[in-house]
Each structure stands twice: as structure tokens, then as C-alpha cells.
Amino acid sequence: MDNIYAIIPVSKFKNAKTRLSPFLSEDERENLLKAMLRDVSDVLKKYVDRIFIISADEEVLDYAESLNLGIIRENDNSNLNNALVQAMKYCKGKSRKVLIIPSDVPLIGKTNIEMLIESSKQLDFIIVPSKGGGTNTIIMKPMAIRPKFGDFSYEKHVSAADRKNLNPQVHDSLFMALDVNTTEDLGEILVHGKNTHTRRYLKELKINVESIHASERLRVTRG
């Protein structure tokens, strides 16, 4: 049995990251998501046995194959949590643990993924919270709990793991907590994302960031 598989759910490239419009066009948002997926998968390839993209979108699956990633075609009329159940059932019996992570955490390489993977050999359940009470990573046995992604999913996942006596361990990481949804998030990538595909793409778009002392800490503009 292989050690650990990564599961990355991706809905679709078209109409992705609508909160970033009109700052970015539809094509620019699509290319941004592709750059972020490359950053996430490039880092994980060093530490996991296989990476699977689950999606119902053929364009996403084609792009995943171009990156030499495994693909799982999402069932019809599914949703995020059901898709993750489908992916975990596929991995069950093939992998000891699964690592569930979104495609939009391009600063993953700035945290210690190797340490998380190593810790998972002794720990039953590791969770990384996101900003706003969400969840950006879970490492566990396939189907140890049913995923509960959505509003305030972090507490729901921890409670579910507690009920199963999995002794959930929290890894609090500034960089892995950053999933990209707002222009200020783009500024964080420009500040912290040296050597990432995502930062290079933002630079190509002539996006700039400056530090300010206001309700938002960063001002992001296009040159």
C-alpha cells in the first residue's frame, strides 16, 4: 500500500474566483487558477506518492493530465463534499493516508509540508485552518470522517474527528491559511510568493502592491 495520496478538488476554470472581478478578467482568473494549481502540485509531488485532481470539468481534467497528475471524473450532480467522498473511496485500500487540499493555496511551499507528512505517520488527524474559519488541509485515513467543507468548516471537522476519537492535531500556518479570494490576497502572494508560478503571473499582469496603514494592510493596483 502506498503511503499517502493527495486529493485536490477543482470545480471549473471558467467563472473561477468571481470575487476578483472586475480586477481580473475571466481569462486572467482562469490563468491564475492554473498557476496556483501548478504551485500546489509542484510542491506536493516531492512528498506524496500520487496526486489526484477530482473535477467534473473536462478542461480542468485535461490541464491536470498535462501536469502529469492523476484524474478522477466527478460524478454527475455532485458537490464538493460528495466529490471528496468519491475521491477518498477511490483511494481507500490503495493509500494509508489522504491529504485533502484546495488548489488555491500557492504559498504551500513556504510551509513545512515534509514535517506534516512525517507527523501523519504517528497522528490520526491533522488539520490546517484557513482564514475565516474554513479548512485548507486535512490529513487522515481515507473516509476517517465525512468532509464538511463549507461555512466555518474548521470547527465542524475538528468536532467530527473528536467524535471518532481521532485526537485532531492543528497545524496553524500563515501561508497555508491563505487561499486566494480577494485583491488583498493577491498582495500577500506578491509579498511572500517569491519563486512561485502565481507571483510570476501576477507580475506579468503588472499587478503591484504597497503597504498602507488602514483597514486593509495592502493596496493592490495594476500598472
The string of pLDDT tens digits covering residues 33-61 is 999 999 999 999 999 999 999 999 999 99
SS3 assignment, position 117: helix
Q: How confident is the model at residue 217 (pLDDT cuts 50, 70, 90)?
A: confident
Residue 90 resides in a domain: yes
**How confident is the model at residue 212, as a pLDDT?**
85
What is the per-residue pLDDT for 86?
Answer: 98
Residue 89, domain extent = 2-173
Q: 122-147 pLDDT, tens per residue?
A: 999 999 999 999 999 999 999 999 99
> Would you say residue 49 lies in a domain?
yes
13 located within any domain: yes
In a domain, 212, yes or no: no
Task: Specify if 140 maps to a domain.
Answer: yes
Q: What is the mean pLDDT of residues 77-106?
A: 97
Q: How many domains does the chain have?
A: 1
Is residue 184 assigned to a domain?
no
Q: Kindly report, residue by residue over 145-189, the tens digit of the pLDDT.
A: 999 999 999 999 999 999 999 999 999 999 999 999 999 999 999
User: Rg of the chain's alpha carbons, rounded to an integer?
Assistant: 17
CATH classification at residue 107: 3.90.550.10
Asked if residue 16 has pLDDT above 70, the reply is: yes
Q: What is the mean pLDDT of residues 69-95?
A: 97
pLDDT (mean) for 67-94: 97
Give the residue-averaged pLDDT of 69-97: 97
Q: Which residues, listed in sequence order, are joined to residue 4 by a DSSP beta bridge? A: 97
Do the domain assignments include residue 181?
no
Share of the chain above pLDDT 90, in %: 94
C-alpha distance from residue 137 to each of 6, 14, 148, 166, 217 (Å): 10, 24, 12, 16, 26
In this predicted structure, the answer to whether residue 221 has a pLDDT above a threshold of 70 is: yes
- The H or E element that residue 184 is part of is helix 183-192
What pLDDT band is residue 120 in, cutting at 50, 70 and 90?
A: very high
Question: Measured between alpha carbons, how far is 140 from 127 in angstroms, rounded to an integer?
Answer: 9
Residue 215 lies in a domain: no
Average pLDDT of the chain to the nearest whole number: 95
pTM of the model: 0.95
Amino acid 223: pLDDT: 85
8 A C-beta contact, residue 125 and residue 155: no
